[in-house]
Structure 1
Amino acid sequence: MLAMWVPELPFQLACSRDGALRDRPLAFLSAEQPRTPSLWFVNRLGRAEGLVPGMPMDQALRTARGLRVLDPSPQVWWEAQAELGTFLQAWTPQGQLLRLGEALVELQGTQRLFGPLADTAERMRRELAARNGWESHGGLSLSATAAQLAAHGERHLERVAEGAEAAFLAPQPLRRLPDLAPRLQERFRRLGLRAFGDLQPVPLPVLAELTNPKLAPDLRARVRGEDRPRLPLLTERPGHARHGWRLQPPRLPEEVGLAVRCLDRLWSDPRHPRTLVLRWWDVDGEPHAWRAGPEDLTSPPLVLARRIQQAFLAGATRRLLVREVELRLAWGLGRERALFEDPRNAKLDRLEPALARLRRRFPDQAVLPGWVGRGGHLETA
């Protein structure tokens, strides 16, 4: 798979609009409104002169004489991230947009269309520069973690050969591991585990005691370069998941064990469903769909799974065999997520694991956060 990184995408966008900003320290003003204005993002040249995010603007202007402080434009950055996703869809259907200016795409299977993978990755990088004017770096590896770290190297395109993932990752500091919780970083530091190579020989039972029995296998695979995630479709929005089920051979509607399968999906993800859409196709190719209402989404998983089964049987009235079933879910405590979340919402997000445990313990009762009003609507008062 290929990891693409557009370094400092917000600054590249600003420089494309105003050429006078190139080759000088830049920073964006914090979107918050504190008593003293402070910096939010700082580019590479600014960091080289001692600027850091959160520094008061008056101090930053004294530190770097040539500094230009820009107003933030989140909507422009968000549209640029969406444009990056559209660009990648022309090369592969599978991929995932990560942080701003970062993406992970699957290139396996595209050789017949575009040729060798390394040549395809280089062509993508050059075309992105020609079309949008964005300078990008790429990392090519079977391991998602190795590809991401390779993309953040100095070379425009770095390839990690098959079998060399562990050796490539070994000298990397653990703080570069994507999404590693700060408390785990501090725990590893106290134990003298500072690089990927220090963690690679740790047995799985010991790693489970240091972290979490559920997180340990995934963490072990990532530090060893053995992670091979199956990427979703690029057309999927963040926070959404689509689970297709192709029936071989096609079956009668009453023979489809949909309730059990849906219950497994509802319990396998610790988050609370926000939307749920069921689609199915019969052998004639005719599509059918059912959308869960707010009262359905706030029902206990056992009740919701039964309702999905009943809606499916009620809609599949024709005596035809069912060929394909698709369950499309969106997650997140019954609320939409904004680009810039209120810090107070972090407390609500920390409730998700506790709510998941309660839903499994009381599967026949509705377990909802206290800020959700009756009928699943948000209380605005």
Structure 2
Amino acid sequence: MLAMWVPELPFQLACGRDGALRDRPLAFLSPDTPRSPTLWFVNRLGRAEGLGPGLPLDQALRRAPGLRVLDPSPQVWWEAQADLGDFLQHWTPQGQLGRLGEALVELQGTQRIFGPLADTAERIRRELAERRGWASHGGLSLSATAAQLAARAEHHLERVTDGGEATFLAPQPLRRLPDLPPRLHDRFHRLGLRAFGDLQPVPLSVLAELTNPKLAPDLRARVRGEDRPRLPLLTERPGHARHGWRLQPPRLPEEVALAARCLEWLWSDPRHPRTLVLRWWDVDGEPHTWRASPEDLTAPPLALARRLQQAFLALATRRLLVREVELRLAWGLGRARGLFEDPRNEKLERLEPALARLRRRFPDRAVLPGWMGREVPC
């Protein structure tokens, strides 16, 4: 596996637009405190001068007179993260985007196309710099955890030899373990377990008592470098689409213009939706899900968008701000589409462009294939 890390991606984007920002302490303002400005993200040069997130702007300027303060542009950052995923799709279909500027991709099986894995990883890093102008680091290992920590070594490409994952991870502090809950880190710290090597010889039964019986096997595999996760596809399956919307700053449910955004998503691909799932997350990370019924899916786009908005407001009863919304769609003429289609279905597939044109022309009416629209009034 190859872990790619583009350090400080928001600051690299800002420096790409304005070269005068390079080699200067930089910080983004927090969008949550407009009346009393505070810092949100701070680059390395700023942290070296004693700056940090949450510091009031007036104190930051006194500590670092050369500080340049920038307005946040989260939508640009999310688009850059999506662009990173699009770039990696040219090299492998399997991968997963992590936090901003981080990605994990599977290179096994690409040797016959691109050559040795180390050469491929170096080409990816070099082309990312040439095409996007982003400085990046890579980590190559059979273990996902070892690859991620190897990328953090900040060499051009750090390779962990097969069978040496546990040795490489042993001196790493446990606080660098990705997604380790703070309460577990504090518990391990109190017990004197502060590095990967301290946790590697702990028996699974003891580890299950310290953490959770369900989480213990995965944690043990990660600290030993034995984790070999099967990564999902970077691209959506044929006939599927995913639309995400990060709300910056987070908003109350009634302030989310979901109907208009959903109508825009539905019209971006006017094929008939086979399934529709709406997911959203509160600022505290609580997930929520709503699935459209078959009756909802046969409704016109305008009616479906209104029903989705009503369902969202009916379920968003927690008085918390909404942080992220995602719509997942599966397209098709009321049926699943296989990887190898039967030639007899060609006539059915030829109906889809005509139906799409009719839906754009009559957005307030149900335009369906004959076998679906017998009981639906037109």
Deviation at 1:84, TM superposition (A): 0.4
| Aligned mates of 1:154, 1:138 — CA distance in 2 | 8
Deviation at 1:36, TM superposition (A): 1.9
Aligned-partner residue type, residue 27 of structure 1: A
The aligned counterpart of 2:62 is 62
Q: Which TM-score applies when normalising by structure 2? A: 0.67
The aligned counterpart of 1:143 is 143
The aligned counterpart of 1:378 is 313
Instruction: Say what the alpha-carbon RMSD is for the aligned residues.
Output: 2.5
| Aligned mates of 1:185, 1:63 — CA distance in 2 | 32
Deviation at 1:31, TM superposition (A): 1.5
1:336-378 CA-partner distances (Å, limit 9, x unpaired): 34xxxx53x44x45x99xxxxxxxxxxxxxxxxxxxx9x9543
The aligned counterpart of 1:218 is 218
Q: Does 1:335 align with 2:270?
A: no
| Aligned mates of 1:112, 1:8 — CA distance in 2 | 34
The aligned counterpart of 2:115 is 115
1:96-120 CA-partner distances (Å, limit 9, x unpaired): 0000000000000000111100000
Deviation at 1:229, TM superposition (A): 0.2
Deviation at 1:171, TM superposition (A): 0.5
| Aligned mates of 1:178, 1:14 — CA distance in 2 | 27
The aligned counterpart of 2:344 is none
| Aligned mates of 1:236, 1:42 — CA distance in 2 | 34
Deviation at 1:154, TM superposition (A): 2.7
- Number of corresponding residues: 267
The aligned counterpart of 2:297 is none
Deviation at 1:292, TM superposition (A): 5.0
Deviation at 1:236, TM superposition (A): 4.0
| Aligned mates of 1:167, 1:139 — CA distance in 2 | 15
| Aligned mates of 2:177, 2:147 — CA distance in 1 | 12
For the residue of structure 2 that corresponds to 1:145, the secondary structure is: helix
Change (3 A) 1:201 1:101: same
For the residue of structure 1 that corresponds to 2:69, the secondary structure is: strand
| Aligned mates of 1:79, 1:30 — CA distance in 2 | 19
The aligned counterpart of 2:95 is 95
1:80-100 CA-partner distances (Å, limit 9, x unpaired): 011100100000000000000
The aligned counterpart of 2:7 is 7
Deviation at 1:156, TM superposition (A): 1.1
| Matching of residues 1-381 of structure 1 within 5 Å | 1-33=1-33, 35-236=35-236, 291=274, 335-337=279-281, 342-343=282-283, 345-346=284-285, 348-349=286-287, 377-379=312-314
For the residue of structure 2 that corresponds to 1:41, the secondary structure is: strand
Deviation at 1:209, TM superposition (A): 0.3
| Aligned mates of 2:84, 2:58 — CA distance in 1 | 35
| Aligned mates of 1:241, 1:14 — CA distance in 2 | 30
| Sequence identity percentage | 80
Gapped runs of 5+ residues in structure 1? 243-288, 294-329, 353-372
Aligned-partner residue type, residue 49 of structure 2: E
Deviation at 1:65, TM superposition (A): 1.4
For the residue of structure 2 that corresponds to 1:335, the secondary structure is: strand
| Aligned mates of 2:235, 2:70 — CA distance in 1 | 32
Aligned-partner residue type, residue 188 of structure 2: F
Worse-matched range after superposition: 162-171 or 31-40: 31-40
Change (3 A) 1:377 1:47: closer
For the residue of structure 2 that corresponds to 1:122, the secondary structure is: helix
Aligned-partner residue type, residue 24 of structure 1: R
Gapped runs of 5+ residues in structure 2? 243-271, 290-307, 318-378
Aligned-partner residue type, residue 153 of structure 2: G
| Aligned mates of 1:54, 1:46 — CA distance in 2 | 13
Aligned-partner residue type, residue 57 of structure 1: L
| Aligned mates of 1:43, 1:292 — CA distance in 2 | 43
Q: Which TM-score applies when normalising by structure 1? A: 0.66
For the residue of structure 2 that corresponds to 1:194, the secondary structure is: coil
Deviation at 1:241, TM superposition (A): 12
Change (3 A) 1:198 1:54: same
